[in-house]
């Protein structure tokens, strides 16, 4: 659906009887670990989704950047369908014909020596942390069980016990301790704090080059280059979580490329499958990933033939449709328009590529609900930030229409 046939004059309010029934089932029988908007999506294509009542919405979240290629991209669907009729799972007990091709595709596209595929993003994060520690012991020579990893405050890397244990967000930690030791926090942008935190036992500095869940927080210009120099001086692995920021989202294939650095480890996921299947991977050198021997680490589904076929197609779409350049161009337009907004509730607008944040002086949830009623789906983060991340295939006319809705809701806000 294009903006020319848009829903700009239609206001969606209460869910229908069917939607209300489905919402009630979810509330009764499901754990309440999310607070979703009350729209029940039944199908989707491109940048648009349709609810169970046939009402259309423009998706401005892209499943937290998992569908950079758009919903149900036909090229990825073709690869999925063809593979699902052949073989879906062999486990890594045997070889399959898709894993080697994905590994080569990742090497050719990114330049990293090796990759280790997993499933969810946080599994790849855990894999990277294990690799960093084992590298610290076997290569750097850190005494047994003394390895330390430095992370940023306001980080978000997933929800496992280890990962929430080094989060600085109290809600992510409450009720889940005791936690895995061996992590230190430093603030984003403070290179002297990083330098001071490094000890002879530091094996890695692991962080998001742009902090997504924290509200699209972008470090000062030059920060990544300074960090790279400090890590090199101290023989510390520079490890980046590009699960949300990677694969075109910020206007480059990876966010770190905006400063031209060369990280030791990069973790990817989400858009690696274009939304069809959980696929993630750790990219690194032979020195780092070479620390794993058979039996050290594994995953029944990691590197399965269906996942690999889907990931290969998803990567091809990113390259063939030049989604990084598209994100850069459309993101510049969107940021320019949003920065022109004037309202007493606006605190800051920021972003890189088609990854944008509107920080408010008021709670963001009511504005997201108002935007949903106008046919635009986005989501709040950290209470006062509206995070915007449409599929990178979005048409400019649809993007312009969405920005019109955002402007109308912000300017029409009444405290």
DSSP letter at 60? S
Q: How far apart are CA 300 and CA 50, in angstroms?
A: 34
Element (H, E) at 372: helix 365-373
List of residues 6+ apart from 353 with CB closer than 8 A? 248, 249, 250, 251, 252, 324, 327, 328, 331
Beta strands in 285-402 (DSSP E): 346-351, 356-360, 376-377, 379-381, 385-388
Q: By C-alpha distance, which of 162, 92, 178 is closest to 130?
A: 162
CA atoms within 13 Å, Cβ hemisphere of 222: 2
Structural contact between residues 327 and 390, judged by C-beta atoms closer than 8 angstroms? no
| C-alpha to C-alpha distance for 148 and 185, rounded to whole angstroms | 11
- Hey, is 152 helix, strand or coil? strand
Catalytic residue among 60, 156, 166, 183: 156
Spatial neighbors of 248 by CB under 8 A, at least 6 apart, are 68, 271, 318, 323, 324, 326, 327, 353, 392
Q: Determine the Cα–Cα distance for residues 114 and 105; give it in Å rounded to an integer.
A: 11
For the question of residue 105 being annotated catalytic, the response is no
56 is catalytic: no
Q: Which of 270, 352, 372, 379 is catalytic?
A: 270
Check 241, 254, 264, 379 and give the catalytic one: 241
| Residue 199: half-sphere exposure toward Cβ, Cα within 13 Å | 12
Determine the distance from the C-alpha atom of residue 233 to the mean position of all C-alpha atoms in its chain, rounded to a whole number. Answer: 30
* Rg, C-alpha atoms of the chain: 22
How is residue 302 written in tokens?
């990691």
> Among this protein's residues, is 104 annotated catalytic?
no
Return the active site residues.
Answer: 156, 241, 270
């Amino acid at each position: 659906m294009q903006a020319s046939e848009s829903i700009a004059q239609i206001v969606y309010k209460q869910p229908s009887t069917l939607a209300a029934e489905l919402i009630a089932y979810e509330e009764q029988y499901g754990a309440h670990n999310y607070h979703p908007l009350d729209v029940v999506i039944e199908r989707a294509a491109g940048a648009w989704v349709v609810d169970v009542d046939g009402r259309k919405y423009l998706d401005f979240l892209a499943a937290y950047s998992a569908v950079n290629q758009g919903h149900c991209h036909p090229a990825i669907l073709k690869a999925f369908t063809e593979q699902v009729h052949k073989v879906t799972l062999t486990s890594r007990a045997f070889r399959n014909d898709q894993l080697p091709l994905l590994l080569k595709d990742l090497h050719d596209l990114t330049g990293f020596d090796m990759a280790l595929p997993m499933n969810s993003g946080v599994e790849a994060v855990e894999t990277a942390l294990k690799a960093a520690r084992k590298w610290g012991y076997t290569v750097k020579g850190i005494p047994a069980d003394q390895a330390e990893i430095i992370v940023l405050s306001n980080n978000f890397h997933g929800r496992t016990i280890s990962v929430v244990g080094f989060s600085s967000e109290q809600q992510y930690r409450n009720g889940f301790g005791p936690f895995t030791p061996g992590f230190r926090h430093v603030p984003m942008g403070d290179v002297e704090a990083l330098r001071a935190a490094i000890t002879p036992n530091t094996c890695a500095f692991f962080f998001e080059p742009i902090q997504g869940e924290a509200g699209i927080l972008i470090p000062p210009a030059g920060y990544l280059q300074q960090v790279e120099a400090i890590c090199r001086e101290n023989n510390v692995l520079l490890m980046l979580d590009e699960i949300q920021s990677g694969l075109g989202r910020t206007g480059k294939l990876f966010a770190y490329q905006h400063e031209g650095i060369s990280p030791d480890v990069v973790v990817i996921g989400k858009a690696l499958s274009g939304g069809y299947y959980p696929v993630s991977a750790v990219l690194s050198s032979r020195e780092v990933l070479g620390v794993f021997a058979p039996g050290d680490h594994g995953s029944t589904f990691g590197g399965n033939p269906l996942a690999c076929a889907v990931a290969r197609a998803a990567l091809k779409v990113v390259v063939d449709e030049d989604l990084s350049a598209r994100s850069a161009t459309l993101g510049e337009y969107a940021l320019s328009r949003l920065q022109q907004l004037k309202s007493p509730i606006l605190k800051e607008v920021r972003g890189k590529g088609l990854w944008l944040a509107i920080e408010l002086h008021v709670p963001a949830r009511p504005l997201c609900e108002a935007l949903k009623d106008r046919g635009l789906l986005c989501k709040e983060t950290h209470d006062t930030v509206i995070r915007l991340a449409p599929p990178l295939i979005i048409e400019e006319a649809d993007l312009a229409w969405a920005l019109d809705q955002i402007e109308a809701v912000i300017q029409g806000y009444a405290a």
